[in-house]
A and B are shown apart, each in its own frame.
Chain A
Amino acid sequence: MEDLLAARLQMAVSLGFHIIFACIGMAMPFFMAISGYKYLKSGKEVYKDLTKAWSIGVAIFFAVGAVSGTALSFELGLLWPTFMEHAGPIFGMPFSWEGTAFFIEAIALGLFLYGWDRLHPWVHWGSGVVVGISGVASGIFVVAANAWMNAPAGFDWIDGQAHNVDPVAAMFNEAWFSQALHMTIAAFVATGFAVSGLHALLLLKDKNNLFHRKALRISLTVGAIAAILQPLSGDISAKDVAERQPLKLAAMEALFETSQPADFIIGGIPDEEAKQVNYAIHIPKLLSFLAHGDFNAEVQGLDAFPEEHPPVLITHIAFQIMIFCGMLMAAIGLLFLLFNWRWKHLLDRPWFLWMITLAMPLGFIAVEAGWTVTEVGRQPWIIYGIMRTEDAVSPMPGLDVTFYIFTGLYLMLSFILVWLMRRQIMTLSDKYSSARIHQPRGNN
């Protein structure tokens, strides 16, 4: 395998792996905190059990996230030493803040997991909230660093060297807000739907189980709210990308020719040779509106950029997958929030539980697809418009070996995690009395 390809694939595998744990680390503590709050307020054992059961999941996932995150901080150098040599001092500021946030997260998690009997109940609960806040903060900092690669700022690039470095300007680059917002909400959507799906499946197997019903209610409420908000943040992102990286938008939408007005293309398979999209549905003028807020605005196509452009096929399909999953989840979320309001038994209807079960992976599929869009859509640049990915890769031969080692390791860890979670679920009713309680519907 070519070294550049191996390095890019390794980065994709490592980030794709780590991002799942990062999302869970951002959102899950808040689920625990909600359940913990309900326990402290109501004194109901089921909420205590739920908080404990969830916290064990968090502990396992956090550990994998912490070590895979450590690996990433080294991999940036192992794979892209030239990039880091130049970029480190410029975009490093969010990383130094992220270090602090992550540190606090680790400390607070230790307190939360092992402090049940050692801390005052509200102090203990507070430590759980701190885990969530610092988790979200570290996510935002890391995304701000990534945003800088899309919207480089805070330096002058003269003859292949950075001058007049301004780390503050680099951190608050043009893309940081829209990317951080989109990612943070995505973490709540993905985690909310994944957790809901799991508990819905368990409810299908074990009807009226109190533990799973409470769990589902909390996770689905958070997931649904986030899923409804996400298209709004997606709109901010789209307008931002249209402004800043029109080339990326053109690849996302497989818009080969500059158009005024431009159609929104749904689905389809782009053919880069023939410069057309086969089997697609066109919605007239919608892209003009989504990108610029005007139905008759001009949208630049790939032909406006005669030099290299990102791989259209991957970027377009990943973008479509993200949109599709996002819309589906927003619809499910809306359905739940609207009807659950009046129709309390929704969480007991098998068809609804099946739907939630099937929606389990949608959030994480959308997250992975979204990252594919932003990373592949930036190619061939590692720092947009400044440094090419091929010029940043490590000159060490044999990077494919590194790729195989990491891929094998992460595959193995993924299998073990699934297996471990299964074992956790199998023993739930042995460990927690509330997981053995069954209440007929209506008693939510």
Chain B
Amino acid sequence: MLYVVIVFLGLSLLAYALLGGADFGAGIIEIFSGKVTKKTITHAIAPVWEANHMWLILMVVILFVGFPLIYAQMSLYLHIPLLVLLVGIILRGTAFTFRHYDAVIDKSQDHYTFIFKLSSVIAPLFLGVITGAMILGNINPNPASFYEGFIDPWLNSFCFMLGIFTCCLFAFLAAVYLIGEAESILIRNRFLKFARNANIATVLSGGLVFVFAEANGLSLARMFLNSPGALTAVILATLSLPILWWSLVQGKVVLPRILAGFQTMMVLGAWFWDQYPAVLRYSNGDYLSLFNSAAPEATMRQLALALLVGSLLILPALFFLMRTFKGSTFTEDAE
């Protein structure tokens, strides 16, 4: 049953990155493209963002029910970045909703938009920072000071580079998805151009993650070279890039989305294989894994059951939602 739960945890993470991540990415795109894309973005996100956001809640629940030690230790040592992430999540969701539903359209729209854009960067940035802090191995189980215990694990160039990489990746995903949602050729070209730039930024920041890892005493590159799975994932992601670009230039809509999703999956896969089985690393070399911190079997059985039954209810409903509002995605290539 442990494996069933792990699969669901992985799927939730993937779904959150692909769907929830893209919602953040759309906010990042708006920073650069401004009012031109506002309508398309609002239209694309509004019916689905709350459902997309649920994947995060599912992940948190799986963590605290199934892997309580990981959840508790993360919450303790990464309290501050988690807090910032939460503030980002709260502001993004509320600013977006207020902007969309405010009955009077006036100057307040600019304030909502400002908060929406800002929080669309804060949340993914800190998702990356938190991920970085979990693998960097700076978490000290016996901290001598407040700084050592609660700041040092995450306040470093590696964590923030991973945060920037996350922002770039989400923005790239969003741009690729939005190409099919654009109402005019002008806006479509905007997204296309943005996808290209975000793609370059993702690759560059991805490279810098390795550089900054070395600077922070984590030989991520060597770990990758020693992990055939991680290496394969990175190679596959890279190989699929030219196909993605070819299909975008050809005006395809579905294939690029699948490929961008595939690349994100490979990035997450690389991270997983590289770290396997560790999830949270301490400065003394110990680590928490999904195996050494798992809840008792009785809990895992119930959790797996809830997830299996839950997915029987959720997945058809989710498919119906997506088909209703993202119909073109499933039926035809635009243009």
Seen from chain A, the residues whose Cβ lies within 8 Å of a Cβ on chain B are: 56, 59-60, 62-64, 66-71, 73-78, 81-82, 84-90, 92-93, 95-100, 102-104, 106-111, 113-115, 118-119, 165-168, 394-398, 402, 405, 409, 413, 416, 420, 423-424, 426-427, 431
Contact = CB atoms under 8 A, between A and B. Distances in A.
Interface in B8-63: 46-48, 50-51, 53-54, 56-58, 60-62
Contacts of B73: 81
Max count, chain B CB within 10 A of own CB: residue among A85, A107, A108, A431? A107
Nearest to A60: B101
Interface in B60-74: 60-62, 64-66, 68-69, 71-74
B50 A88 contact: no
A108 B259 CA distance: 29
A106 B295 CA distance: 29
B334 to A, nearest CB: 18
A96 B150 CA distance: 29
28 contacts: A60-B98, A63-B94, A64-B94, A64-B97, A71-B89, A81-B75, A84-B72, A89-B66, A89-B299, A92-B303, A95-B64, A96-B61, A96-B310, A97-B306, A99-B61, A99-B306, A100-B314, A104-B317, A106-B51, A107-B318, A107-B320, A110-B321, A111-B324, A167-B298, A394-B75, A394-B76, A413-B90, A420-B98
A69 B57 contact: yes
Which 6 residue pairs spanning A and B have beta carbons closest together?
A92-B65, A77-B75, A100-B310, A89-B295, A88-B68, A63-B97
A92 B64 contact: yes
Given A84-B64, A416-B98, A71 B90 contact: yes
Given A107-B314, A396-B150, A93 B72 contact: no
Give the secondary structure class of B's interface.
helix
B302 interface: yes
A107 B320 CA distance: 9
Most interface-central of B64, B76, B104, B310 (chain A CB within 10 A): B64
Contacts of A59: 97, 101
B82 interface: yes
B102 interface: yes
Contacts of A424: 101, 103
B64 A165 contact: no
Interface residues of B, number: 63
A69 B150 CA distance: 25
Contacts of A110: 47-48, 50-51, 321, 325
B330 interface: no
Contacts of A90: 299
Contact of A73 (B47, B60, B296): B60
Contact of B321 (A76, A92, A93, A107): A107
Interface in B276-308: 295-296, 298-299, 302-303, 306-307
A107 B98 contact: no
B150 A167 contact: no
Nearest to B297: A165
A66 B302 contact: no
Contact of A93 (B68, B87, B146, B303): B303
Output the residue of A68, A70, A98 with the most chain B CB within 10 A.
A70
A77 B64 contact: yes
Contacts of A85: 68-69, 71-72
A109 B75 contact: no
A56 B46 CA distance: 13
A429 B91 CA distance: 30
Nearest to A167: B302
B86 A95 contact: no
A78 B296 contact: no
Given A67-B93, A78-B82, A119-B324, A96 B303 contact: yes
B246 to A, nearest CB: 33
Contacts of A97: 306, 310
A108 B82 contact: no
A89 B2 CA distance: 13
